Amino acid sequence: MAALYPLFAFMAALPFSWAAALPQLYTMEHGIVGGVPANVGDYPYIVSIQQEGVGHFCGGSLLNANTVITAAHCASASGDGSVAIYIRAGSLNNTYGGVISNVASWIVHPEFYRMDYDLSIIKLSTPIPSCGDISYVKLPTSDYDPEAGSIVSVAGWGTTNSDDGILSNYLRKVDVHVISRETCEADYAVTKENITAQMMCAGEKAGGKDSCEGDSGGPIVDADGVIVGVTSWGWGCAKAGYPGVYSRVSRFLAFIEEHS
């Protein structure tokens, strides 16, 4: 049987002292399996969240010049804040180009626990204006729930093969289908993990296409470019019968508005 893995198993703990009190979370970070390289302009709002000296560890989405939406579990860490955390925007490659801004603060949803309420807000030290290859993500309407069977697109710099754990430096994307919450609950029943109203699921029944290690916090968007979910967790990567699980952004609009 597959297993859920502890967060950040592939990297050193992030040095944020304010994160020490966060609940322990067991999950699988996500990256793109079965996808293709993204093109300039496909996701002008996506950002790579990086640790100085280590590099990329999570994705996120620019909401405005000062604010990034990402997963709460990306902040699960401890330390004294001595190593900088920053975001890179406006580049398909997460090792160069674009615009860099340091993380000034990281606000985790107060109800975050294990996989539930897995959303957080990053405030940037230097504003990132909308220009050229950078723009801001569009939010859904209140309680918007993508229709089962509709196509959504997920992107990130995660692994392309769940077996090797090697992250991609180049942004990749994949289209997957929304899975109904009822079907997803049945799929995950054996794992004893709940699929809550704060979650949505997407993937392929036969597997082969999914987010995987390293894409946590990144966006999943609908055909109109609206961010409907934030990459959260899953049972392995691209496994048949286990779709990716995403934080359903429409359930967090009040929290996002409060901190944006």
Residue in 103, 115, 86, 100 with CA at minimum distance from that of residue 26: 115
> Is 42 assigned a catalytic role?
no
Q: Is 145 a catalytic residue?
A: no
Task: Catalytic residue, from 120, 153, 211, 216: name it.
Answer: 216
Active-site position among 48, 73, 168, 210: 73
For residue 120, indicate whether it is catalytic: no
CA distance 209 to 213: 13
Q: Return the residue matching tokens 């990402």.
A: 70
In 3D, which of 22, 202, 205, 47 has the Cα closest to residue 114? 22
Alpha-carbon separation of residue 228 from 59, 107, 208 (angstroms): 15, 20, 22
Q: Which of 118, 187, 210, 215 is catalytic?
A: 118
The catalytic residue positions are 73, 118, 216
